Amino acid sequence: MKISQKDLGIKIGIDPSSASGRMNHYETGRHMPDLDTLKKLAKELDVPVNYFFCETEENATLACLIDKLDDETKRKLIQLLENKTEF
Amino acid sequence: MKISQKDLGIKIGIDPSSASGRMNHYETGRHMPDLDTLKKLAKELDVPVNYFFCETEENATLACLIDKLDDETKRKLIQLLENKTEF
């Protein structure tokens, strides 16, 4: 993914004059985006919204992989995880 | 989980006089809690913060199950999901 903070901000509809500053505040955690902005960012980056709130690299990677599965496969994975914790 | 919105709010430090209203606004989506409040709620409910942003029941269940796995198991699961999407 090669896109600047500013360009990403502009892509989701932030005014170009404030895009860099606002996106920087989001990235550093100074401000949290509202839910509508989070949804736009997620769509633009092709990640689920919950990705932004994953606290480890592994959880974030898994959130993206899981979001791409169909519901039936998700349900099978739930059963797998409920029955054992090793692979 | 049997706890009222109000009691959950009080548990995470919201003033009892406003706990019911604030928690109701969060639940209906009228206001989004700030990150600090989300972290307190997550801790109290024993879920990861990203749980609150999962858009399907399956994703939410998986977020909780995955959060309980150790890092090594998570990495194995990542490999599994990267190599196939059926179980």
Query: What CATH number does residue A9 fall under?
Result: 1.10.260.40
Backbone φ and ψ for A61, nearest 5 degrees, come out as: -60, -45
Helix (H, G, I), strand (E, B) or coil at B30: coil
Q: Is A53 in contact with B54 (Cβ distance < 8 A)?
A: no
What's the confidence (pLDDT) of residue A1? 59
What's the confidence (pLDDT) of residue B85? 56
What's the confidence (pLDDT) of residue B18? 94
Return mean pLDDT, chain A.
Answer: 92
Closest approach of B35 to chain A, Cα-based (Å) = 7
Range name among A29-33, A58-62, B21-25 with the lowest pLDDT average: A29-33
Q: Please give the C-alpha separations between residue B55 and each of A17, A48, B37, in angstroms, as whole numbers.
A: 32, 8, 20
Task: Dump pLDDT digits (tens) for A32-49.
Answer: 899 999 999 999 999 999
Q: A50 touching B, CB under 8 A?
A: yes
Task: Dump pLDDT digits (tens) for A7-27.
Answer: 999 999 999 999 999 999 998
Q: Is A81 in contact with B74 (Cβ distance < 8 A)?
A: no
Q: Is B63 in contact with A63 (Cβ distance < 8 A)?
A: yes
Q: A74 touching B, CB under 8 A?
A: yes
The CA-CA-CA angle for residues B84, B73, B87, to 5°, reads: 30
What's the confidence (pLDDT) of residue A71? 93
Domain membership of residue A19 as a residue range: 5-84
Give contacts of A53 with chain B, Cβ < 8 Å.
Answer: 38, 48-50, 52-53
What tokens were used for A6? Answer: 């500013």
Number of domains in chain A: 1
The percentage of chain A sitting over the pLDDT mark of 70, rounded to a whole number, equals: 95
Q: Which of A26, A31, A34, A62 to probe by mutation at the B interface, max B CB count within 10 Å?
A: A62
Helical segments of B1-87, H only: 5-11, 16-28, 35-45, 57-67, 71-83
Compute CA B21 distance to the chain's CA centroid, rounded to the nearest angstrom. Answer: 20
Can you state the angle between helices B57-67 and A57-67, rounded to 10 degrees? 150
The percentage of chain A sitting over the pLDDT mark of 90, rounded to a whole number, equals: 82
Q: Is B50 in contact with A63 (Cβ distance < 8 A)?
A: yes
Give contacts of A63 with chain B, Cβ < 8 Å.
Answer: 50, 59, 63
**Per-run averaged pLDDT (10 residues), chain B, 87 residues:** 88 95 91 92 96 95 96 94 77
Q: What is the DSSP letter of B34?
A: P
**ipTM given for this complex:** 0.84
Examine the pLDDT at A61 and tell me if it is beyond 70: yes
- pTM for the complete prediction? 0.86
